[in-house]
Amino acid sequence: MRALEFYSGVGGMHFALSRVNLDITLARAFDWDQTACKVYSANHGPGVVERLDIASLTVEKLDSYDANIWLLSPACQPYTVLNPNAKGAEDPRAQSYLYLLQTVLPGLARMPSSDGSGRHPGFILVENVAGFEGSTTRQIQLNVLKELGYYVMELLLTPLQFGIPNSRLRYYLLAKKTPFQPSVDGELGVPGGIWRHIPGRPAEWREDNVDEIRSYLDERPVPSANRVPEKVLVKWGRLFDIVKPSSRRSCCFTRGYTHLVERSGSILQEAEELDVRAFLSVSNFVYGTNIHCYTQTTETFDEFLDAQKQEVSSCAASLEILAPLRLRYFSPSELLRIFAFEKKDTNDKFVWPEDVSNKSKYKLIGNSVNVRVVEELIRYLLSN
């Protein structure tokens, strides 16, 4: 089989497809971002990704690839809850996906084929942000796919369900020309029949089945390279989500990581021993009772905020209070492991061209899919 990848970014869906161990060729990928295309080529070879406006693709051009699988991750900005002015289908960034739905797919379906079923793909996978399920674009998508005879399944999934310590809830759509087995109609989930797990997998995730963050960290981190700037800590430190190496969850990392604070991703407290000491102190006080009371981080920040309120306190003095926590951003290589571009205990190595800045790396990763989740969805879509 042959596949096409739309809104390909750095090639997350290509990585996922390569791991399902089926005889599938990624015939072509499409994206507009020049840096993303450069990174894609560094990892998947030259001549695979084409930089263009997806709205310029014609029915005839896409038919020429003879692809039976479409993988798509359209722009999320029209639907994200982080954008208070999100316009959904009215947003210009939504137009290329609507063009594929309303013009290209029906055009391919009308083209003659040997079996009389049309030339549109047999399998489709779409990824977008949680919130897409409430959009008018989603309703247009469902109407078009059902008119073309597709069987459709929708899901809301997070990497936590696959043992990855990151709460990145995403909307997924699977579509195929033949029925899902067993039938997925009428599944009880969220309103609208959206699944919260892949059929055959557990409906709930357990925290003790999720990896600790420490297994995704660099062996020799460079704290100075990822240190949170002092001016950011002074002004916005109270808004950070702080995790430790033993944590089994982190907040969703977005394209704004390291230059936005709120809801852009967690930062790491390397000094985990501070909370361990606080825990032991409380445990000894109650004669060994197993009371989980990790208080040191909270107490340190309370002291920091109190110091900021004192007019006589300088910024330097308040920052000294936070210094023992050793706070830093996750590095790009650590995020690549969390996003499953690089797999633990393997020789997988993601390649960055030398001229790609750290800011661009964070942006490109934040725009990407979680490779492990997409891998499992492709496996399920094709296994039926």
pLDDT, tens only, 46-69: 999 999 999 999 999 999 999 999
Nearest CA-CA partner of 301 in 328, 323, 272: 323
For residues 283 and 256, the answer to whether their CB atoms sit within 8 Å is: no
Q: Are residues 106 and 24 in the same domain?
A: yes
Average pLDDT over residues 23-30: 97
Q: Are residues 125 and 241 in the same domain?
A: no
Q: Point out the residues that are catalytic.
A: 76
Specify which of 225-229, 310-314, 321-325 reaches the highest per-range mean pLDDT: 225-229
Average pLDDT over residues 133-161: 95
Cβ-Cβ contacts under 8 Å for 184 (sequence gap 6 or more) = 153, 195, 199
Average pLDDT over residues 178-189: 65
Q: Are residues 278 and 333 in the same domain?
A: yes
Q: Are residues 182 and 93 in the same domain?
A: yes
Q: Are residues 256 and 134 in the same domain?
A: no
CATH number at residue 346: 3.90.120.10
Q: Are residues 297 and 353 in the same domain?
A: yes
pLDDT band at 311 (very low <50, low <70, confident <90, very high): low
For residues 121 and 72, the answer to whether their CB atoms sit within 8 Å is: no
Q: How many domains are there within the chain?
A: 2
pLDDT of 254: 93
Average pLDDT over residues 143-164: 96
**Is residue 271 predicted with pLDDT exceeding 90?**
no
Q: Are residues 110 and 153 in the same domain?
A: yes
pLDDT band at 182 (very low <50, low <70, confident <90, very high): low
Nearest CA-CA partner of 95 in 75, 109, 112, 125: 75
Q: Are residues 109 and 123 in the same domain?
A: yes
pLDDT of 181: 78
Straight-line distance from the first to the last Cα atom of the chain, in angstroms, rounded to the nearest whole number: 15
pLDDT band at 151 (very low <50, low <70, confident <90, very high): very high
Q: Are residues 220 and 99 in the same domain?
A: no
Q: Pick the residue with more confidence: 204 or 97?
A: 97
State pLDDT tens for residues 192-237: 589 999 988 877 788 889 999 999 999 887 767 799 988 888 888 7
Please give the residue range of the domain that contains residue 98.
2-205+365-383
Q: Are residues 164 and 180 in the same domain?
A: yes
**Is residue 130 predicted with pLDDT exceeding 80?**
yes
pLDDT of 89: 72
Q: Helices 34-44 and 358-366 sit at what angle, rounded to 10 degrees?
A: 80
State pLDDT tens for residues 65-94: 999 999 999 988 877 766 666 677 778 788
DSSP state of 94: G
Average pLDDT over residues 300-324: 71
Euclidean distance between CA atoms 280 and 165, whole angstroms? 25
Q: Are residues 67 and 197 in the same domain?
A: yes
Q: Helices 296-309 and 273-285 sit at what angle, rounded to 10 degrees?
A: 110
Q: Are residues 166 and 224 in the same domain?
A: no
124: tokens are 């489709």
For residues 96 and 55, the answer to whether their CB atoms sit within 8 Å is: yes
CATH number at residue 26: 3.40.50.150
**Is residue 265 predicted with pLDDT exceeding 90?**
yes
